[in-house]
Every structure is written in structure tokens, then in C-alpha cells.
Chains A and B, each alone.
Chain A
Amino acid sequence: MAEANTAVSEQNVPFAGAGTAETVQLMVTVNGVDRIFDAEPRTTLAEALRGTLGLTGTKIACDRGSCCACTVLRDGLPVCSCMMLAIEANGHSITTIEGLAAPTALHPVQTAFIEHDALQCGFCTPGLVMSCAALLEHNANPDQEAILDAISGHFCRCGTYPHVMTATLAAAAKMRGDDNG
């Protein structure tokens, strides 16, 4: 998952402003809204989202890219936000769990997670939802192997994986419109 973002070419977006001596000012499109905020260079994207921007739906569980609980989308691709500095999001578009649903309806993956009980304690759930939603953006008809690929870096101690699998297959079917119940 972390590799995905290295493939994205860095657009040379100038920093939005000077910030203070210790901070830089960043401009990040978060859930479709341009957000300008100051961050210390050492601040991770996960910390900025949860702290400065108050978007606590993104969870930090291992803080070193080995559980994927903190997964968000950068320009549509899943990344571990604990392994990315906030300044690396400057000029990019970030989608968090709070921004996944349409204004009037949940994303089909979210609905399927509810219907298939693909969550227990719920702490790893936002990350899993983001990875599965990102998969379906790029692969409308994933098989089990494709879903395993998409979630293989995630860790869930409650053991929701089997239901995550059925939920994601069901969401894909619904999005294709061949949901026959």
C-alpha cells in the first residue's frame, strides 16, 4: 500500500504560505474541500487529519504502516496516512472515511459492511472500508484473490476478514447493478 504512492509523480505544488518558523502552511483538498492549515514538517498526515482537521474517523493503531488502519485515499489511491508526512499531501486530494459517502447515501461498501456484519470493534473498519472502496473504483468485478490483494496489509484482531470478503463481493455486485439479492 505504501508503495502505491511512490508511483504517483510529485506535482510541484508550491507550499501555500510561509507558516511560522517551525511550521509550514499546507493546502490539501480534504473530502472535496480545500483546507489550508499549518503543520510541523514532522507531522504525519494521520496526525494532521485527526488533530488539526478533527477528522478522527481515520485511526492510528500501529503508527508504522504495518496494519493499514489509517488508510485514506490520496488522489484516489489508498495510502497509510501514518507513513506519509502531511507535507506530502500538499496540493493533493485526500479522501477520508468521513468523505466516502455521498451526501444522501452511504457508499455501497459501507452499506455492505453493515449488512454482512463486516465489523466488530470497528477500529480497523474505516481503513478496511477505504481499501475495499478503492479496489472497487478500479476493479468492478474483483474475485477473492483481488480482494485479498487489496486487504492483505490490513490487520483485524476481531477476525472480520471473512465478512469483509463477502461484503466487498456484495458491494461490487450492487455497484455493477447485477445484485439479485
Chain B
Amino acid sequence: MAESEASRTATFAVGLASTGLDEVERQIPRDEPPPLPPNAELAVIGKSVPRQDAFAKVTGAALFTVDINLPGMLHGRILRSPLPHARLRALDLAAAARHPGVRAVLPVAQPGDSLRYFGVPVAGVAAVSAQAAEEALALIHAGFEALPFVVDLDKAREPDAPPVHDSTSAPPGNSSGFPAPAGLPLNGNVRGPALMQRGDVARGFAEAEVIVEGAYSTKVQTHCCLEPHAIVADWREDGLTVFMSTQFTAGVRHELAEAFGLPLARVRVIAGAIGGGFGSKSSLGNYGRIAVGLSRAAKAPVRIVLERQEEQMDAGNRPATWQSLRLGARKDGTLSAISLLSYGTAGVTLGAGVGGIAAALYTCPNFESAQYDVFINAAPGCAMRGPGNTPGAFGLEQAIDELAGRLALDPLALRDRIDPSPVRREERRIGAARIGWQRRHAPGAESGPVKRGLGVAQSLWPANVQTTAACEVRIMRNGSVEVLSSVQDIGTGTGTVMAQTVAEVLGLRAQDITVRIGDTDFPPGPPSYGSRATASITPPARVAAWRVLQTLFQEAAPFLGVAPEALIAHGGRILVANNPGRFMLFGDATARLHTGKISAAATRSDDYGGFRRRMPDAALALQDLGGVQFAAVAVDTETGIIRVERVVAVQDCGRPLNPKQIESQVHGGVLMGLSYALFEERLLDQHTGRMVNPDLEQYKLARPREVPDIEVVVLEEYRGQSATDAYGIAEPANIATAPAIANAVYNAIGVRLCALPMTPAAVLAALGKIPRRGELP
């Protein structure tokens, strides 16, 4: 591509900092800054500066949505269906409306409606206190006709299973990227298949010298955000203001405008501190609509905070999956064919696939997959940290481990042969040294009741970008600097890396930058999902800061007697690049501004070099993100207890902006993966369809005592694709953990556990010491 009026040629350093950098020339927009040098040459980016909101969070001053208390605010509660499948026969809200504390009632379902899962909202009430609202729920008269139901994935696939949906009620498709496109056939409760195909799989298997097959299953995991889903809706004649614990303020704003027929300009969404999301707070949600409806009816602000039981029952979950994988390979390990079949369930909705990791992680010319969604009478699933690829990796990475065993190849040597990524090759090399891979023994080789083992697995997640992400940077005459965007910080440190990015450009310290985010009055930011926020918002933050700095240079140049182009910003000064003795303090330069403030905005430009694929408002970058994780486990073959002793996580996310924050987030990914591997399972009672462990007690999770020694290594990888070259880490850090542990368990005991969670009972059953689940003794 040649230079033009709009673009110019720039030279970027690319590659891994640890193994040496190359150079590449790219066309970049003329109104964007020159390439950002590698971290070693930077002052603020790449440093572990403290979180900008840490002081507020350790002192209790941070305001979460659950802490918002508006004058005259009412408390909303939701009446939920007590049956897993029912027809609503009657709904009478009159007695509830007469409760002295009640200010509004709202029917959510109408008589005649089908209610397809236990806990689906039926009606809402708003009252002057939470207790009054609770009392009013008991005054609602609702009549339900019980309908046949099914809450088990396998039973729902049987031809005579009770149908969950009919052709009109079944969701038409799922645009969130977990194979469930619109227009697929529905056969009973089974919908699909979503197909992927390349090459000639039959020929690939015919050419194979070794074939391995396996079936793997994963259970429903719930998000368990510490802050419950929460909203305060304030409907007024002149517009709607909503405080919400959400991963996407700008998206919720659009949803509200559409749902309530309001001009976008009359809807404002504010998210202060947000107590986690993990995918479950990506949209308005049924409780959000109910709160807004109640506020409109009551003419007062209404707060709805879900109770923990509601959180567990109807606030999203990671779908359950079953997958069958067949791999064909040459004796040297080269893959000749992969065939994947999956059935998963996201309850009454779609999106229970096992992702695209089997198609993308390894070189294989012949691939086919058929992925089916199965409806059951259970609350809708949604995205959760690495949707699709997390259960997908649990199958694929065990199958690859199995193949290595069959070929008598070291699992790392096999991957060196079939994994085209030079980044993961380096990650395997580093991780193997840190975990002490050379001491890995043959499966089940240790004597004694407690057997140790080592395992490895890889993660893959497509780098993706919100192309609408925007941001503004303001410099005030008094020298203060603000960065503004509707992007929210769900705990990942988004605000901090924005401050670092702006500070780097302006030659200031991160703490000099005031971060104003989580408010749709500011330029529309990206969602905090899909490991997308950093990649989307830091480039426009740097571009906007650079643009406003050019304005400051214009105003300061005459005082320094040079042209604006001769100036740089560094160390709190505006100085002459080739004569650093000539400078003004940043605050002296801003004091000479003609206006009270100067400002510039920027929207995320395309990745330099282009995108792999465009979607509405978003795009896939050219590369994948990922990592390699190693686990060391000890399995007690008498109790069945698996103890994860050590995890080494070697990850990549482009340019690391804040190593400490990345390390924190990788800890979270590893621990969520460990918890998924060993403990977590939503249990639905087959006879009543209700969740029997809807709390944080019977729903088992990894706690402090289950935490292994975790070593995090983050590569510094440059690709010259944006103004910051930074990408996300949330999902890549989660995907490889469960299969790494499973492979380590196999290495320890010589028996493969193909179903999650890997409980003590599952271990003992696999060892033949007790009957398997569902089997009679």
C-alpha cells in the first residue's frame, strides 16, 4: 500500500522482545501518532503502576451499583415461576398493589404464556422497603398449569422428550459467535447442526496411521460475580437514567432506547465500580427491564439487586457440553483429519457450542465439525470467560495428549510439530523449564497412594476489537488532564491502563490523569467482554492524547521559540527535542492556553495491516491470543482428592501495559479454570427442575485453601497493529487450565478423566474403586 493523503509509512518493531525484534513497515493514518516504541523505552506503559481506583476500593469509598441510594428510591423484587415448565393461567396483582408500602406492580408474563424454566420472571413489585416488596410478592395471586419438562441434556435429545420450545418460541439464532447461526433446523429439542468443514476428512482418516477418539463432557458453571446483578432505574419525563453493574454501558443504553422507545440522547447509563461480570453482565437482562418498567409506573427511582439465589438460578451460566473428537495422524504426529461432534445446552436459549479451538489451534488440512444446541427447561446460558473454547479445549487438549501417548511422543514435542504458532512454541519452552517438565514420568508410574503428575494444555482466543470504541482527552488550563469514555472497568484495570497510555503521551505520571469512565455521557466505549476492552480503548486513548498534545505544542511553541514539530513531552515538561535544556513545565505550558481547556477525541481505527473479519461494530484481528499452561497435581488414590500444587501460566496479550494487573487477571483465569476443573456444577433436581445448590455454599468453588503456587510469565509481543499494540488477557488465561489439570491427573494415575468436574467420586470411579455416577453398585 502506498502513502496517500490519509496515510503514511511507519516502521514498527515486531516480534517477541525476549527473542529479538524485527522491523515491519506499515501504513498508518496521518492523524495518528508514530509507532509506540517497545516497553523498555517507555516511562509509564509497561510499568506496574497502582490501580487508579485502588484507594477507593480498599477504603470502602468505591460506589458500586448496590450502594446507590437515590432520594425516594424504591426497592424492586421479582416473582418467579415455581415450576420448570408451566402455562400461566392467572395473574392477579391487585392485592399486592394494595399493600401500603407498594408503589408499583408490573406484570411480566401474561395469562396463557409459557414459562419455560424454574425462576423465570412472572411479575415485579416496587415498594418503599425491601421487606415491603418481599411481603407484596406473597400477595400476588398467580395460577400455573404444570407442563411436562426436561432438565437433562441426554434425556432432552430423546425423540419422546417433552418439547421445550415450539417453532415460534425457539430463539432464531445467536449472534454472539458460539456457533448457533439463524436458520438451522429444529428437531424436537435438538437444533442444528452448525457445520464447519475444510478439506476432505474421509481421505484424511484414510491416510491416518493412528486414530484416537474420545468423548468429553462439561457441566454448567455459574459466574458467581461477587456483586450481584444490580440496577437503579430512574425514569423521568425528560429522560431515563440507569445505574447498572454492567459490562457494556453503551450497549445497555441502546437496548434501553429500543425497548422503551426513547431517543438515545434521552438515555444515560452509569456504571461506577463494578463487582465482576465474567460475561454475565453484558446486556440489560430481564431484571433490568423490570426495574425500568417499575420506575416508569411508580414515577420514582427503583433499585433491583438480585439475591444470591437469583444470581445462581437466573443470571446467566456457562452451558453444559458433550463432545466427541476423532483425530487422525501420521506416525510423526502430523494431523491428517479432525472430526468433532458436539451437543450442548444453554437451557432455553442457544450458544452451547464448544467453539472453534479444534479447528484453529493445530495445522490440519481436513476438518469437520457438527455442533448442536439442545434445549432444556433451564435458565438461559450466556457468555462466560472464553465461551465455547473453554469446554472445547477440555476436549481437544486431552485428545492431543492422548495422541501423544499413542505415538509415544512427548506432548510438547508433538505440539512443536503440529502447532504453527512461534509464540506458543516459545511459551512451551519457557513453561517447560519453569515447571520442571524433564522430571515428568510415564502415566501412573509413581508407587504409593498419592501419585503426582504433570500436564500441559494450550489456549487460543481470537483477538477482537470494538471498532466503534471512542475516547476523549482534555487538558485544562490548570494542567489537569482527563480521559473520558463510556467504557467501564469491571475489575480488570481498564481505567488504569487508559491513564498509563495518556500519561505516556503527555510525559506525565499515571496518577496525574483523571479517569472518567462508565458513563454514556462520555464518548461510547467498548464492552468489557471478549478480552476486547484493552485492545479497543487504549489505541484511541493514545491517539486522542497525541492529538490534544499537538494543540498544546502549537500554543507553547512561540514561548520556546521553536516550531511545534520540534517539541516533545517528557518528565512533566514540554521540551525542545534536540535541545532538552529549553523546556517549560507542563503546567506552565497549559497556563498559557487561550481557552479553559483543550480537547481531542478519537475512535478506534482499523488495525494497521487490516482485520481478519468484520462484524457489526467489531472485528477480528489478524492474530489469535493464547498461552500455554502447565499443571502439577497430586492425586490421592485412596480419597480421590486432586490437589493442584503448582500452575505455570505463560501467556501473551500483545504489548503488556501493566504487568502486575495482568498477573492478577491471570491468577483469576487460572483459579476460575481450576474451580471449573475440580468443583463447580450447577445441580438441577430431575423431579422439580430447580437448582438444588443456588448459593455459595453447596455450589462448590475453589477457595483460598485450594490455591496452588501460580507462576505467571507474560510475553512481550509486538505486531505493529495499533497505536498501542495491546490486547486482552481475560479469556486466554482461563481456557487452558482445566485440560492442563486433566492431563496432569492422567499423568499421575494413568486413567483419563473425561468429565468435569473431576470430583473425588469421579477419581475413585475412574480407578474402579466405586461405581460410576448413575451406575448401580
Contacts and interface: CB of A to CB of B under 8 A. Distances in A.
Interface of A: 40, 42, 50, 54-64, 66-67, 69, 96-98, 100-101, 106, 110, 113-117, 119-126, 129, 148, 151-164
Contacts of B275: 59, 61, 121-123
Contact of A158 (B276, B308, B697, B701): B276
B660 interface: yes
A97 B64 CA distance: 15
B57 A119 contact: yes
Given A120-B668, A157-B668, A66 B695 contact: yes
Interface of A is mostly: loop
B672 interface: yes
Contacts of B226: 59, 61, 67, 69, 121, 123-124, 155-158
Interface of B: 48, 50-51, 53-64, 66-67, 69, 131, 223-228, 273-276, 278, 307-308, 490-493, 660-661, 663-665, 667-672, 695-697, 701, 703-705, 707, 710
A63 B664 contact: no
B668 A158 contact: yes
29 contacts: A55-B60, A56-B69, A58-B60, A59-B227, A61-B226, A62-B308, A97-B58, A101-B59, A114-B50, A114-B58, A115-B50, A116-B660, A117-B54, A117-B664, A119-B58, A120-B492, A120-B493, A120-B665, A120-B668, A121-B273, A122-B53, A122-B275, A123-B275, A123-B276, A155-B701, A157-B278, A160-B668, A161-B707, A163-B663
Q: Which of B58, B661, B705 has the most CB of A within 10 A?
A: B58
A62 B305 CA distance: 12
B491 A120 contact: yes
B308 A63 contact: yes
A125 B205 CA distance: 53
A14 B228 CA distance: 37
A39 B493 CA distance: 39
A168 to B, nearest CB: 11
A70 to B, nearest CB: 11
A69 B707 CA distance: 18
Contacts of B274: 121
A152 B307 CA distance: 23
Contacts of B670: 159
Contacts of A159: 664, 667-672
Contacts of A156: 226
Contacts of B493: 120
B661 A117 contact: yes
A160 B664 contact: yes
Given A98-B59, A123-B64, A159-B669, 5 more contacts: A57-B61, A59-B227, A60-B66, A106-B55, A121-B273
Contacts of B278: 157
Contacts of B59: 57, 97-98, 100-101, 106, 110
Contacts of B223: 157
Q: Which of A100, A123, A148, A153 has the most CB of B within 10 A?
A: A123
A122 B277 CA distance: 12
Contacts of A58: 60
B669 A148 contact: no
A157 B667 contact: no
Given A61-B226, A155-B696, A158-B668, A122 B308 contact: no
B307 A63 contact: yes
Contact of B671 (A59, A126, A161): A161
A96 B60 CA distance: 9
A57 B67 CA distance: 8
Contacts of B668: 120, 157-160
A98 B227 contact: no
B37 to A, nearest CB: 25
Q: Which of A54, A67, A69 has the most CB of B within 10 A?
A: A67
